[in-house]
Structure 1
């Protein structure tokens, strides 16, 4: 004795509906978890040893970033003759790059 087609399809439809609901819930939970990650606490302020306003002679325009590997420093040009100096880490020899890049 064989079952009519509708009786063979019903369990498959029920399973598909249950799977669809489970996926919808997991996508919703994922979205909530992701939004919670984006609400990060603020970073602590940098100490004076990490950022310092300095005199800086350059022909670059304000807003330009200049990296001097030998000084382990990044300079953000703020206005003519002035910059913010940040201490940075640099890669070892052989892993460096040189040149000018517009960001």
Structure 2
């Protein structure tokens, strides 16, 4: 199976990005009631709750990452990802399903 990557964005609205380290596991959860984005995928971290969202715009998706819209149909309601690296621009993760 081809590796799938995604970008976490919106981190500065929550806890920032500096605490995220390589190999940390993040939880993805579809936000079915999100009135701004019908394909919104919240990114959560145990002990913190919501830390951001899967990027869903050409302005926020980094490199070969999939947008939330492309990732949305690859899982039912919840999935996991693994942090590869973090930067001020965004956090790149590998989708684990």
TM-score bucket of the superposed structures, by smaller chain: under 0.3
Of structures 1 and 2, the one with the larger relative CO (CA 8 A, separation 6+) is 2
- Give the number of the structure whose residues are more often helix, by fraction: 1
TM-score, normalised by the number of residues in structure 2: 0.27
Structure holding more strand per residue: 2
TM-score, normalised with respect to structure 1? 0.26
